[in-house]
Structure 1
């Protein structure tokens, strides 16, 4: 089958479901976006997987499963979003044994599959049919109104973070990670990155 590769375009607060997020996947060749509604935990897990710099004091479920896969000599080869039924996406996680080349396909929620794929830097694919059924074409102007996961909170608290020294920011970051307040940790991490870019 001719699969279409998707990239993670961002995560935003869901406009349709309270307390949920929308994971925005994009087919780069056509700019068609695939919005997937996910929960708060999955949004945090995907964001942490993308960040790479923030490590929770105890492993999250997806981190634990990642270690198990590696310990079993498997690697995550790809994720395929193969179907949508009544607004629900169905996905497979494709694994391969590094020693025997044995292939293993696991059924998974799309949010979990994406959270795993970012930990292995594995590609995400879908079918043309799924794109036809659930894909939307958004202009960049529309996207700018709907920023990434924690940008709304960042905008509200940005001025407060700007007035804090780098040392204090680092302490706040360490404390947020320790307390497992990943929303705040990601906000602080973004502020630290912005300052480092200015220095460079």
Structure 2
């Protein structure tokens, strides 16, 4: 569930970080228009958001077009998209949806939420805590250089988070099971599946 104060934000547009070529969306706080929230996203999501903003539907529906059609077919509506938190460098979001059975909150990636919002006209919100932690202040008339500075500031914030997470992990004591020692642990099976990466935002 969404906790804390939520601030209305507008989608300023898509941007590509010059150094890495990584796409991101820029959200601007309505009450404080000089403060923006950059969110790194995937290339496919950036393309989908761009198509949604263009107002020209593709020849065949994309995933987010299908999501919007399903919402309508099920007699539901997307009331809002909330950016609710920032955990280990990944933004968290929720969809506020109302259907025949009443309102629901659905966990989502911010990129998917934005892509759906531009198709159904749903408002965007961001947690005040997230804006305080990851937002950047732009000048009255931001140019490409100002946006790059905001992105670089946020990139530095993510790097600090990664360093703090690693430091905490190194300081955390290990807790082996009773009766086991490192020598008693069985060797790993080479046929075991490798660890999978978590979902990106």
Same fold by TM-score greater than 0.5: yes
Check the 8 A contact 2:15/2:24 in 1, yes or no. Answer: yes
Of 5, 9, 12 in structure 2, the residue corresponding to residue 9 of structure 1 is: 12
Q: Which has the larger radius of gyration?
A: 2
SS at 2:143 equivalent: helix
Deviations 1:37-93, CA, capped at 9 Å, x for gaps: 0111111111111121x2211000000111111111100000000100122100001
SS at 2:61 equivalent: coil
SS at 2:5 equivalent: coil
Of 50, 70, 73 in structure 2, the residue corresponding to residue 71 of structure 1 is: 73
Displacement of 1:110: 0.6
SS at 1:56 equivalent: coil
Give the unaligned 5+ runs of structure 2.
148-201
Instruction: Name the CA distance, whole Å, in 2 between partners of 1:89 and 1:17.
Output: 19
Instruction: Name the CA distance, whole Å, in 1 between partners of 2:82 and 2:52.
Output: 18
Aligned to 1:130: 130
TM-score under structure 1 length normalisation: 0.66
Please report the RMSD computed on the Cα atoms of aligned residues, expressed in angstroms: 1.8
Instruction: Name the CA distance, whole Å, in 2 between partners of 1:88 and 1:17.
Output: 18
Aligned to 1:104: 104
Give the unaligned 5+ runs of structure 1.
148-200
More helix by share: 1
Check the 8 A contact 1:14/1:37 in 2, yes or no. Answer: no
Aligned to 2:121: 121
TM-score under structure 2 length normalisation: 0.66
Displacement of 1:127: 1.3
Check the 8 A contact 1:12/1:146 in 2, yes or no. Answer: no
Check the 8 A contact 2:138/2:146 in 1, yes or no. Answer: no
Of 76, 79, 82 in structure 2, the residue corresponding to residue 80 of structure 1 is: 82
